[in-house]
Amino acid sequence: MRVLVTGGAGFIGSHLVDALMETGNEVRVLDDLSAGSLDNIKRWLNNERFEFIKGDMRDSGTVKEAVEGVEAVFHLAANPEVRIGAQSPELIYETNVLITYNLLNALRDSSVQYLIFTSSSTVYGDAELIPTPENYAPLEPISVYGGAKLAAEALISGYAHTFGFRALIFRLANIIGERSNHGVIYDFINKLRKNPEELEILGDGTQRKSYLHVSDTVEGMLKIFEYFGKGSKTVDFYNLGNDDWITVGEIAEIVSEEMGLKPKFRFTGGVDGGRGWKGDVKFMRLSIEKAKKAGWRPKLNSYEAVRMTVRELLKSL
């Protein structure tokens, strides 16, 4: 296929680009390099099946040009930092909702048949049902980031039903792995390199969430996209996560162990009952039964994914 990957120089996006290129697709990447890096996709830059466009999706003309001649769009471009929503809600709006709106308007008069969007587990908020299935309601995000992802989902559904393309929406757990440049593991490694004696841990350490390695994530996206393509639904939703979960305190222990350190853990206590920050979902585990029925299951559990990620980041950072 001829595909566009928005945010394709970023963490998850570049791994998706690798998989798409390795399976013979023609791939175009649109990225402003604010969070991504050309280093992530440098192996493809001179390949005749690959095209890179440096551009900001807040400019509608750039987006319209990028979708020309492609059959599918994998829309991963976004500001990935949940915490920034409390300080800069306008930035979260622009880099999640506005860019999605610009993309959808560009799709109206294009040849694109499929839109694949990476949403987030944050759309569920503090779910009362765990593991949380795709049909859980009401969706009540507790962060501006989660609200922006839910707004993007709603726009995508409306446009798909109105303008005749099909949309596949993935609600992702915490995705980790090589090339990630934010998140708890990345932060812990950098903090311990600055001070091997003590590790500051945001919150009370009991926050418990599901973590999925990026290799499993990309495999899930492509396998379920293939499954979705054989069906007839205009819009469908799939959780991608793990059957287990792990606490922040346990992650701190794994990072310390892999670095050969025994630091003192200093918990900040957090906000709103031990959360790391305002809007942090304290407990998150997604139901992945629907994804399993589509033929996918993760190879690494949360503990294995965390340990592998620590080793990958220690080599690259």
pLDDT tens for residues 74-106?
999 998 776 664 568 999 999 999 999 999 999
186 part of the active site: no
Q: How many CA atoms lie within 13 A of 154 on its CB side?
A: 10
Distance, in Å, from the CA atom of 181 to the CA atom of 179, rounded to the nearest integer, reads: 6
CB 137 within 8 A of CB 145: no
Check residue 85 and give its pLDDT.
46
Q: Region 275-280: what's the mean pLDDT?
A: 92
Check residue 317 and give its pLDDT.
85
Catalytic member of 101, 136, 145, 238? 145
Distance, in Å, from the CA atom of 161 to the CA atom of 9, rounded to the nearest integer, reads: 30
pTM of the model: 0.97
CB 221 within 8 A of CB 229: no
Q: Classify strands 246-247 and 208-209 as parallel, antiparallel or unpaired.
A: antiparallel
State in Å, rounded, how far the first CA of the chain is from the last one. 34
Nearest to 58 by CA among 101, 119, 24: 101
Domain ranges of the chain: 2-175+211-240, 177-210+243-284+295-316
Distance, in Å, from the CA atom of 30 to the CA atom of 41, rounded to the nearest integer, reads: 12
What pLDDT, in 10s, does the model give residues 64-77?
A: 999 999 999 999 99
Q: What is the 3-state secondary structure (H, E, C) of 222-288?
A: HHHHHHHHCCCCCEEEEEECCCCCEEHHHHHHHHHHHCCCCCEEEECCCECCCECCCCCCCEECECC
Query: In the structure, what pLDDT confidence band is assigned to residue 290 with cuts at 50, 70 and 90?
Result: very high
Query: In the structure, what pLDDT confidence band is assigned to residue 20 with cuts at 50, 70 and 90?
Result: very high
Burial of 207 (0-12, 13-18, 19+ CB in 10 A): buried
Distance, in Å, from the CA atom of 242 to the CA atom of 212, rounded to the nearest integer, reads: 6
Cβ neighbors of 5 (< 8 A, separation 6 or more) are 13, 16, 17, 20, 27, 28, 29, 30, 73, 74, 76
Find out if CATH 3.90.25.10 is the number for domain 177-210+243-284+295-316. yes
CATH superfamily of 2-175+211-240: NAD(P)-binding Rossmann-like Domain (3.40.50.720)
Tell me the C-alpha to C-alpha distance, in Å, between residue 274 and each of 162, 192, 234, 278. Answer: 43, 22, 40, 10
Domains 2-175+211-240 and 177-210+243-284+295-316 fall in the same CATH topology = no
